[in-house]
Structures are given as C-alpha cells and as structure tokens.
Structure 1
Amino acid sequence: MRVLPPLAVIGILLAAPAWAAPPAGVAHASSTPAPAPPTVRERVQRNQVEAKRLQREVARQESASQRASERLDQQDAQIAELRRQLSQLGAEAPADQP
C-alpha cells in the first residue's frame, strides 16, 4: 500500500501537461491575434458611406431617366408634327389632281 500513493502522484504529474495544453484546434496566445470585429461606430460609418454612394447612384439614374423622358417627349412632338404635315399633304393631293 505504500507504493500506491507515489504511483498516483506520478500519474497525475505525467497527465498534468495534457490537461493544461489547449485543444488542438485552439490558437496559441503567441500566434498573431485575430482581427477585432468592427465596432458599432465603424459599422455605422461604413453604412453611411454606402448610403451616400447609393444616393448618388439613384440621383444619377433619375437624371438619366429625366433626360430620356425629355428625348421621348421631343420625339413625340416631332412625330405629331410629321403626321400633321402628312395629313395636310394628303388633303392637298386630291385637289391638285385633275
């Protein structure tokens, strides 16, 4: 029985490093630290920058849409004028023929 306690102590001393070691998948403290997650302020700032970019893009698209609408209005007016002229020529043509 005198041998059992020293063997238990030797067993505990041999197993202690295995218990103290971090699991295999865990990074050691000496390795480079992982980048810190962005703070709330950084996320808000990033979102504000994105919102401003999107506002500029919407303004650009609205401007392009307005220009396209103006061109269509001009083309509609030209078509209406050409139809009026064509109608006028059609009305005059029978009067010119004998």
Structure 2
Amino acid sequence: MEYTPEITGELKRKGCSKVMSLGDLRLYECPSSYFDEETLKIVSLVFLLEGTGRLYHAGQWADQPCWLVEAVQIFNSERARLAGERDG
C-alpha cells in the first residue's frame, strides 16, 4: 500500500518515523498510546493471569467477575484473529 503525496508530506512535516507494522497497517506511534488507562490495566491483568496461571479471585472461572471473563475472551479472540491473519 502506497501513501498519497499529501500523507507522505504530512509525515515528513511532523517528523514521524514508523514504529511498527501490523499487516498493512503502519504505526507511527506506540500502539499502547491508542488505549486508555483502564484498558491498559485490563490488558496487563490478562497477561499477569496468563503468566502466573492463576485467577483473579479464588475458585474457577465461574467464580470470576463477568468483566474479567469477557476481557479474557476478547483478548484471546483478538490474539487468535491476528495469528490467523499472520499465518495466512
């Protein structure tokens, strides 16, 4: 995908340099800057739970708050979608 001359000019004027690419999407700032503080906390919590193999509250998944179960499901769904796009 090629940029129009207008977009190329704007990127040069702003002194932007590409940080990373996600497929055809080019990012010119850290992707975490797109998330608000609450979302970053939830993503960090999901990584923590995954890394430790523990749950937020004692018990099993049925004992966890609905917001947490939903957050983990969304996270895993997005991860699977991105892996599918990457693997083709």
Q: Shorter-chain TM-score: what band?
A: under 0.3
Q: TM-score scaled to structure 2, two decimals?
A: 0.27
* Greater relative contact order structure (CA < 8 Å, 6+ sep): 2
